[in-house]
Amino acid sequence: MAGVRTSREKWGNRIAIATVFVALIIMLTPIYWITATAFKPRNLATTIPPTVVFTPEVSPFVKLFTKRSQLRDQPTQKEYDAAPWWEQMVFDGGEKVVRNRKTGEVRPSGYADRFKNSLIIAITSTLLAVSMGTLTAYGFSRFKVRGEDDWMFFILSTRMLPPVVVAIPMFLMYRVVGLNDTHLGLIILYTAFNLSFAVWIMKGFIDEIPKEYEEAALVDGYTRMQAFFKVVLPEALTGMAATAVFCFITAWNEYAFALIMTTRKAQTSPPFIPSQIGSGLPDWTVIAAGTFLFLIPVAVFTFLLRNHLLRGMSFGAIRK
């Protein structure tokens, strides 16, 4: 943007910056609020007016990962002193950590397992959707497929129905074949979910890769498979990264099916976190802590792929 700027352009620029600023505030406030609440003592989480200045503590995270029960009697001073620092925090909150009667081991809350389930299911289904989507898109892009446009429309049309509509029949079918509450069950669902999207996005990217890339390799003596892996894939990586981010976010955040299809063994974080509200007064700090941790993988994943993502998003708009 070199050269002379008129005052009108300057004002336009200022308005643009102000708009971005307002948008940022609107979008970042909930994230700030979740983060702040995740580090608050319980009694400051729901004050009116809201507490902004407080001493952060990690007790919500301790509570998030452990099973607790209400204190009937205050612990004796000796019991209190003998407890490790994190258990003291739970005592301070009027609760106690549940331990195994015989071994004295701390009983975990189940959040860690749910988090692990989320990771396994989201990562596997993303890998599957992106790789299957890329291969399908390659086929559609490079070979004469009879009724190509109709097929592509058909693939897209699988996304036109809100998925929840089929939740009950899916649930019944899953129960018959024994996929309820299994990792595989959710992986299949999320892969199927993301596949049509992956095919469409990847078709766009692969169409942009000149077919001469592979033809040159074919003439040089490579097989089509080798040509695909050696020259198409490196060029398609950017698109695959962008697709992977979207697929991962969808699978990671999915709530409705996870709630219906899983109960314990394969349950993911999204249905687990609100289940902690339970009866009685909810402990918002624990919920916030769970949510806060839940945000991190997507943030990390997106951050790692950010260069690809930026290039991916502007693909086609700016060529070279």
Partner 1 sequence: MAQIKMINVQKFFGQNQVLQDLNLTIEDGEFVVFVGQSGGGKTTALRAIAGLETITSGKILIDGVEVQDRKAADRDIAFVFQSFSLYPHMTVRENITFPLRAVRMDKTARDKAVNETAEILQITEHLDRKPSSLSGGDMQRVAIGRALVRRPQALLMDEPLGVLDSKLREQMRSELKRLHIARGSTSVYVTHDQIEAMSLADQMVILHDGVLQQVGAPDDVYLKPKNLFVAKFVGSPVMNVADVQINGSEVTMKGVDTGFTFDESTLASLAKYDTEITLGLRPEAILLSQARTKGYTQAVTTNIEPLGSHDIVDVRLGDTVLRVRTESGFVSGEGQPVWVGLDTTQAHFFDKKTELNLRGAA
| DSSP summary character for residue 165 | G
Toward partner 1, which CB reaches closer, 233 or 249? 233
The residue range among 77-85, 128-136, 230-238, 260-268 that interacts with partner 1, by the rule CB under 8 A, is: 230-238
Q: How far is the CB of 28 from partner 1 (least distance, A)?
A: 37
Toward partner 1, which CB reaches closer, 213 or 255? 213
Q: How far is the CB of 233 from partner 1 (least distance, A)?
A: 10
Instruction: Write the binding mask 191 to 220 for partner 1: x where contact by CB under 8 A, - elsewhere.
Output: -------------------x-xx-xxxxxx
Name the phi and psi angles at 298, rounded to 5: -65, -40
Residue with tokens 């036109």: 160
Among 97, 130, 231, 240, binds partner 1 (CB under 8 A): 231
Identify the CA nearest to 128 among candidates 204, 177, 190, 183.
190
Toward partner 1, which CB reaches closer, 57 or 235? 235
Residues between 233 and 262 with contacts to partner 1, criterion CB under 8 A: 234-235
Identify the CA nearest to 67 among candidates 105, 97, 102, 103.
97
Q: How far is the CB of 229 from partner 1 (least distance, A)?
A: 13
Give the C-alpha distances (Å, rounded to integers) separating 184 from 17, 136, 194, 235, 269: 47, 22, 15, 31, 16
Residues between 90 and 129 with contacts to partner 1, criterion CB under 8 A: none
Cα–Cα dist 285/295, whole Å: 15
Count interface residues toward partner 1 (CB under 8 A). Answer: 17
CA-based R_g, the chain, Å? 26
Toward partner 1, which CB reaches closer, 86 or 222? 222
Toward partner 1, which CB reaches closer, 189 or 236? 236
Cα–Cα dist 125/98, whole Å: 35
Q: How far is the CB of 223 from partner 1 (least distance, A)?
A: 7
CA angle 84, 61, 123 (to 5 degrees): 130
Asked if residue 223 binds partner 1 (CB under 8 A), the reply is: yes
| DSSP summary character for residue 99 | B
Q: How far is the CB of 134 from partner 1 (least distance, A)?
A: 16
H-assigned helices in 100-182: 111-142, 148-157, 167-177
The residue range among 30-38, 107-115, 195-203, 223-231 that interacts with partner 1, by the rule CB under 8 A, is: 223-231
| DSSP, residue by residue, 39-72 | TS-GGGTT-SSPP-S----SHHHHHHHB-EEE-S
Toward partner 1, which CB reaches closer, 92 or 215? 215
Toward partner 1, which CB reaches closer, 74 or 307? 307
Site residues, partner 1 (CB under 8 A) = 210, 212-213, 215-223, 226, 230-231, 234-235
